[in-house]
Structure 1
Amino acid sequence: MRKTYRDRKINNKISQKFKEFQTRNGIKFNDEKLLMQAFTHSSYVNEHRKKPHEDNERLEFLGDAVLELSVSQYLFKKYPTMSEGELTKLRAAIVCEPSLVMFANEVKFGEVVLLGKGEEMTGGRTRPALLADAFEAFIGALYLDQGLETVISFLDKVVYLKVDSGAFSHVMDFKSQLQEYVQRDGPGTLEYKILQEEGPAHNRIFVSQVSINNEVLGEGAGRSKKEAEQHAAQMALGKLKEE
């Protein structure tokens, strides 16, 4: 009797965690078993063999493919002048393990993942590979439960927002994109000029301006001249595409 009560208490606690997770992220699963499976690590299954738990490895396999497709579609539409090689490089940066861990931490996956006692005691909740796998598994579960559009809506808030804010600008060559874009309208030479340098030597900030035929296209700041020029080119591209 005591064991049954304890099990019920544990199950209620797990159920409450998943409800809070869904509320926090504006998601409601039709099949909550899928959500639970997405966060069930193999170590948890091994310690609860009497119950029909299934780990998240198969969902991780599916989620990996869904994530790659979704990110590819987003980048293809957002950056029409970007080459195949640049798109591949950027996608790789977005779906690599460190990025997936960043996304997983953003939505607090570590709080809801189900672990065995051994994995829990050795810091499983913060283990990068585990969090990255859980993120992919969750994407797979969400796809099965509600389809690609819901997955894209979730990625809009967690992943694409970071891309838009420049979190992956270090792997994007905006200067080449801008050069290609302006050459469509005829010959012209882009000119980059450093407008400002400020701050101590170890924490320098540069402000760059890009122009063509004396027409200013954009300005940007960065911790190096190269980074400032890339941000200026990014701003210029955004401005030109709005016109």
Structure 2
Amino acid sequence: MVSQAADSTLVHASQLAVRLGIPAGAEELIGLALTHPSRRHQSGAHEDNERLEFLGDALLGAVVSAALYQADPSASEGDLSERRASIVSRIGLADVAQRMRLDDALLLGEGEAQRGGAQRPAALAAALEAIIGAVYLSHGYPEAERFVLTHLAQEIATPRASIGKGIKTMLQEWTQAKNGSLPRYDIIATSGPEHERVYECAVRIDGSEIARGSGPSRRAAEAAAAEAAIDLLGVTKEAVR
């Protein structure tokens, strides 16, 4: 017998699937994809969206990599890696998830919901990746690929020059609102041969190191450090509006 809560989740997932253009048959998995770990801990459910997130993350990387490779024949491996990292970053995916209104669809525990969990980039990105995993398990790779290319078309077409700006701007606006200071980014190490250089960056606020990130360029490393700081500090998009 299906519980009232489970039945409500299926209805919720079915409505979301219709809105996002997902064919029928994925409702149960989509309901799971929307289930934040805090909801599982509160309700005593057996699963949350973490395993689907793991699967969706791998699928997302493959689809985005292929799309970038085909779209820009002149791009170097470093350029492609940098653009992919920006697109699949938590902040990048959170933007897509909000555009899809996943913040209204997340199933959170009461405490997490009260703390603004629906606006946390990590939770939004996880739900989006989990939905990609759900589409793949229900309908196969072609449908999962179509879903990614449809909903991330804007990000895949983004010019190289704008990579990382959104992440760094979000952190800057938050620090300015808190204490009027600006984040400072320092490259603290480089490794690898010249054609495969990896940069490691530390981001500091008021002289204190907050987080580090790495990437195939200075810009990518700074963006990765900013993203790590945002996660560590618990910054939400709502907090910088």
Amino acid at match of 1:76: Y
> TM-score when scaled to structure 2?
0.62
Give SS of 1:103's match: helix
Please tell me whether the aligned partners of residues 106 and 158 of structure 1 are also in contact (alpha carbons under 8 angstroms).
no
Matching of residue 93 in structure 1 with residue 90 in structure 2: no
CA offsets 1:127-180 (integer angstroms, 9 cap, x no match): 11111111111111111111221122112221123332x3654249xxxxxxxx
CA offsets 1:217-237 (integer angstroms, 9 cap, x no match): xxxxxxxxxxxxxxxxxxxxx
- Which residue of the partner structure matches residue 41 of structure 2? 46
Matching of residue 32 in structure 1 with residue 15 in structure 2: no
Say which one has the larger Rg: 1
CA RMSD of aligned residues (A): 2.2
CA distance in 2, matches of 1:103, 1:84: 25
Amino acid at match of 2:51: R
Check 1:70–1:47 CA distance in 2 against 1; reply closer, same or farther (3 A cut).
Answer: same
> TM-score when scaled to structure 1?
0.62
Please tell me whether the aligned partners of residues 76 and 87 of structure 1 are also in contact (alpha carbons under 8 angstroms).
yes
After superposing the two structures, state which structure 1 stretch, 37-46 or 27-36, moved more: 27-36
- Which residue of the partner structure matches residue 18 of structure 1? 13
Give the one of 59, 62, 66 matched to 2:55: 62
CA distance in 1, matches of 2:28, 2:124: 19
CA distance in 2, matches of 1:131, 1:171: 20
CA distance in 1, matches of 2:20, 2:159: 21
Give the percent of matched residue pairs that are identical in Structure 1 and Structure 2. Answer: 36
CA distance in 2, matches of 1:31, 1:25: 12
CA distance in 1, matches of 2:140, 2:101: 23
CA distance in 2, matches of 1:68, 1:107: 19
Unaligned runs of 5+ in 2: 165-241
Please tell me whether the aligned partners of residues 94 and 168 of structure 1 are also in contact (alpha carbons under 8 angstroms).
no
CA distance in 1, matches of 2:155, 2:98: 13
Unaligned runs of 5+ in 1: 1-6, 173-243
> How many residues end up aligned between the 2 structures?
163
Report the Cα offset of residue 12 of structure 1: 4.7
CA offsets 1:65-105 (integer angstroms, 9 cap, x no match): 11101100101111111111111111111111110000101
Greater RCO, CA 8 A, separation 6+ = 2
- Which residue of the partner structure matches residue 222 of structure 1? none
Report the Cα offset of residue 16 of structure 1: 2.9
* Aligned counterparts, 1:86-235, within 5 A: 86-164=79-157, 166=158, 169-171=161-163
Check 1:112–1:171 CA distance in 2 against 1; reply closer, same or farther (3 A cut).
Answer: closer
